[in-house]
Amino acid sequence: MEINHLIRELLANRGISSDAEIQEFLSTNPQKTHDPLLLPDMEAGADLILNEISAGSRIMIYGDYDADGITATTLMMSVLGHLMEGRPGDLSYYIPSRFEEGYGLNCDAIKAIKDMGFDMIVTVDCGSVSKDEVRFAEELGMKVLVTDHHNITDRMAECLLINPKKPGSEYPFKDLCGCGVAFKLAQVLQKKTGLPKRVLTEVLDLVAIGTIGDIMPLTDENRTLVKYGMRVINQGHRPGLRNLIEEACLRMGSIDSENVGFVIVPHLNASGRIEDASDAVRLLMADEDDPEMPSLVNSLIYKNRERKRLQADTYRKCLKLAEDGDFMLIRCDDAHEGIAGIVAGKIKDAFYRPTAIVMPTQGEEGLLKGTGRSIEGVSLYDILKKSEDLFIKFGGHSGACGFTMKEEDFGTLKANLQRDMAEIRERDPDIFTRKYPYDMDIKISDIDLDFAEQLKELAPFGNGNPKPVFKMKNVRIADVRYLGDEGQHMRFAARDEDGTSIDCIIFNRADRFKDMIGYGKRYDIIGTVDINEWRGKKRLQSMVENIIDYDRL
C-alpha cells in the first residue's frame, strides 16, 4: 500500500517519521515490547510466587474495583490457575468495596484474608504506597507481592514491588496500566514454567480493556498490546465478554477502541460503582456452560443503566447547586459516591472550569469526601496540594483527584481554591477559553475514501494517539437539517471553493451553532474524517467539533 502523503505528514507531526517507525506503527503485527525482567523486582517476584505454589501456599489476588483492576485480577487468576491446576481452593481473589473500604489494601481485609487461611497476597493495580498495610500483613506471617502502576510517594510499600514507576526502575516505558504490569509478570511466569504461549495470548483481551479503561497512552508497548488484544476481543473466545458485547448491542468482529472505552469499560466499571465489582470478575472468568453467566450479564447491564440514571439525577442536582466562580466546588449531600467523578467531569465540560463534587462520607460523621476533574492547563493535583493541610487523605494527578476532609474546613477550601484560580487566570487570561486542537489543515478535495481508509489504519485511537482532527478552511455550509426530538443534532454539507463537498454532522450541540449559520458566509470547520457505511454503500463524513466564522477571523 502506498501511503498517502497527508498520512505521512500527520504521522510526522506526531513524531513518527522514519520508514521503520511508520511500518511499525501501521503494522498489523507490531513488535515493540520490552523485556519484563527490566521491571524492578520482577524476577524475585516471579520466583516468590513459584516458591509459594511449590510450598502448597494459598494465594489471594487483591485487586481494584475499576476496569483496570477487574481485568488485572481476572488475568492473574487465569495465569495462576494454570499453575495451580487441581487446587481451586488455594487460589482466590478479593476486590474491596468502593463504599465501605475504598481504594487499595486495608488492614481489616488483610485480617479477613488471613483468617480464611491464605498465606500470600498478590496485589494488582494497587499497593505501591500501602506501607503500613504490607507491614501488618507480614506481621501476620503472610507473604506480599505488590504489582502496580500508580505514582509512588514516600509511603512506598517495603516489600517486593513490581512497578515501572518505582524509583530506580530501568523499564523503558512507564505508562503500563495495572493489567499491563500483571501481564508482564505473566510473561515471566510462562517462560519460567514452560506454560504454553496460548496462556498469554488468551489474556491479551484483558490487557486491551484495562489499558483503554485506565486511559493510558496508546503508544509504545501499549499500542502493541492493545492491537493484539483488540484482535482477541473480536475473536470472541471469552464467553462472558462475548455475551456482554452482544447484550450491549455491539457487533462481534467489529469492536474498536471506542467501543471498548465507551461501552465495555462502563459496564465493567458499573459493577463497582453501584455495588460489587466481583460480578465483573466472575463474568470475565465464566466458562461457556457457566449457569451464572446470563444473570451476571444482566446484572452488569442493569447496573450500567442504574449508573446512567444516578448520573443524570446527580448532574441535574449539581447544576442547581453550582455557583459562579473559577473553581466549581459543589457540595451535594445526596450524590452517589460511585458516579461523583463522572458527574464532576460533565460539570467541568459544561462550564469549562475545574470541578470537584463533595459529599458526606459513609459511616464517618463530620467528614466529607471529594472527587474532582480539571481542564487543560490547570493541574488539579497542584492546586489542591496548596491546601493539603486541610485534607485527611489526598491523592491524584493533574486531571483528576480525590480527597477526604473535615466538614468544618469546607469553607476554607472553597476560598483557597477561588484565590488560587484567580492567580492562575491572572497569569493566563485565556485559561478558560475552550481549546479545539487539530492535527493539520486539509482541503475537502484532498479527502477521498482511500484517504479515510488509511486513517483507520492509525487505530487504535485513544489517549496519546487521538483520532486525527482536521481544519477545513474557508468553506460554505449548505443543506442544513436539524435532527433529534429537540433538534439537538445538525447535519449539513461543507463545500470547498471548487465545489467539492463532504457531509458533516454535529451531535447534541446544534443550538450552539444555529444562530451563526448564514447563507453565503464562510467558515472554518474542525472535525474528523470518517466513513459512513449504510447498506453496503460508503460515504465520507465529518464529525464536527467546532465551527468558526471565517469572516470574523
398 in the same domain as 509: no
Average pLDDT, integer, range 389-407: 88
Domain CATH for 498: 2.40.50.140
End position of a domain, from candidates 373, 401, 427: 427
**Which residues are CB-neighbours of 385 under 8 A, at least 6 positions away?**
394
In this model, does residue 397 exceed pLDDT 80? no
| Cis before 30? omega within 30 | no
Spatial contact of 472 and 442, defined as CB atoms under 8 Å apart: yes
Helices 340-351 & 293-321 angle (0-180, nearest 10): 40
DSSP 29: S
Residue 134 lies in a domain: yes
* Cβ burial, residue 287 (10 Å; 0-12/13-18/19+): exposed
Q: Which of 266, 301, 336 is the last residue of a domain?
A: 301
Last residue of a domain, one of 301, 332, 347: 301
298 closest CA partner among 306, 289, 310:
306
What are the CA-CA distances from residue 136 to residues 105, 133, 139 (Å)?
11, 5, 5
3-state class (DSSP) for residue 140? coil
CA distance linking residue 74 with residue 207, whole number of Å = 10
Percentage of residues in the chain having pLDDT higher than 90 = 85
Q: Are 65 and 104 within one domain?
A: yes
Which letter, b or e, does each residue of 346-385 get, where b requires 16 or more Cβ atoms within 10 Å of its Cβ? bbbeebebbbbbbbbbeeeeeebbbbbbbbeebbbbebbe
| 249, 143: one domain | yes
Instruction: Answer whether residue 552 shows pLDDT above 70.
Output: no
CATH code at 331? 3.10.310.30
Q: Is the dihedral of CA 501, 503, 509, 510 positive or negative?
A: positive
* Number of helices (H), then strands (E), in the chain: 20, 17
Tell me the residue length of the chain. 553
- Residue 145: name the closest of 48, 271, 251 by CA: 48
Residues whose CB falls within 8 Å of the CB of residue 338, separated by 6 or more in sequence, listed in order: 98, 99, 272, 273, 274, 307, 310
Residues 6+ apart with CB under 8 A from 544: 504, 505, 506, 525, 526, 527
* pLDDT at residue 553 tops 60: no
Q: Mapping DSSP to helix (H, G, I), strand (E, B) and coil, where does residue 41 land?
A: coil
Give me the domain span that covers residue 402. Answer: 322-427
Amino acid present at 324: D
Contacts of 208 (CB under 8 A, 6+ apart): 225, 226, 228, 229, 230, 232, 233, 260, 460
Please report which confidence band the pLDDT of residue 291 belongs to, taking 50, 70 and 90 as the band edges: very high
Q: Are residues 263 and 197 in the same domain?
A: yes
Say which residue the cell 476481543 belongs to: 233
> Is the same domain home to 407 and 461?
no
Residues 4 and 2: their CA atoms lie apart, in Å, by: 6
Q: For the chain, give percent helix, strand, coil, nearest 5.
A: 45, 20, 35
Co-location of 66 and 172 in the same domain: yes
Domain membership of residue 187 (yes or no) is yes
Instruction: Give yes or no for residue 212 having a pLDDT over 70.
Output: yes
**Distance separating alpha carbons of residues 124 and 177, to the nearest angstrom:** 10
Q: Would you say 371 and 345 are in contact if contact means Cβ atoms under 8 Å apart?
A: no
Amino acid in the structure at residue 513: F
Residue 243 counted as domain residue: yes
Collect all residues with Cβ–Cβ distance below 8 Å to 71 and sequence separation of at least 6: 179, 206, 207, 209, 210, 213, 268, 284
Crossing angle for the helix pair 42-54 and 67-83, nearest 10 degrees?
50
- Is 543 found in the same domain as 506? yes
**Short-list 226, 310, 222, 300, CA closest to 260:** 226
Tens-digit pLDDT profile for residues 461-488? 999 999 999 999 999 999 999 999 989 9
* H or E stretch covering 53: helix 42-54
Domain-located, residue 262: yes
Region 503-518 average pLDDT: 90
Distance, in Å, from the CA atom of 121 to the CA atom of 39, rounded to the nearest integer, reads 19
Single out the residue of 148, 145, 225, 221 nearest to residue 182, CA to CA.
148
Is the CB of residue 42 less than 8 Å from the CB of residue 158?
Answer: no
What is the pLDDT at residue 276? Answer: 86
Residue 99 sits in a domain whose CATH number is: 3.90.1640.30
Q: What is the CA radius of gyration of the chain?
A: 25
**430-450 average pLDDT score:** 93
The pLDDT assigned to 104 comes to 86
Question: Cα separations (Å) of 358 from 57, 320, 336, 346, 387?
Answer: 43, 15, 10, 15, 15
Tens of pLDDT, residues 27-56: 999 999 999 999 999 999 999 999 999 999
pLDDT tens-digit map of 340-385: 999 999 999 999 999 999 999 877 789 999 999 999 999 998 999 8
Do 480 and 420 lie in one domain? The reply is no
Share of the chain above pLDDT 70, in %: 99
196 CB neighbour count, 10 Å cutoff = 10
358 strand-pairing partners: 331, 370
114 and 164 housed in the same domain: yes
Identify the helix (H) or strand (E) that includes residue 91: strand 91-94
545 C-beta neighbours (distance < 10 Å), count: 15
How many domains is the chain partitioned into structurally?
Answer: 3
Q: How confident is the model at residue 503 (pLDDT cuts 50, 70, 90)?
A: very high
Residues 97 and 66 in one domain: yes
- Does 12 fall in a domain? no
Specify the pLDDT at position 193. Answer: 98
Distance of alpha carbon 98 from the chain centroid: 17
Q: Is residue 24 part of a domain?
A: no
Rounded-to-integer distance, Cα 464 and Cα 258, Å:
14
Over residues 152-183, the pLDDT tens digits come to: 877 899 999 999 999 999 999 999 999 999 99
Q: What is the mean pLDDT of the chain?
A: 94
Q: Is 280 found in the same domain as 225?
A: yes
Q: Which amino acid would we find at residue 180?
A: G
d(CA 393, CA 254): 43
Instruction: Tell whether 402 and 445 lie within a shared domain.
Output: no
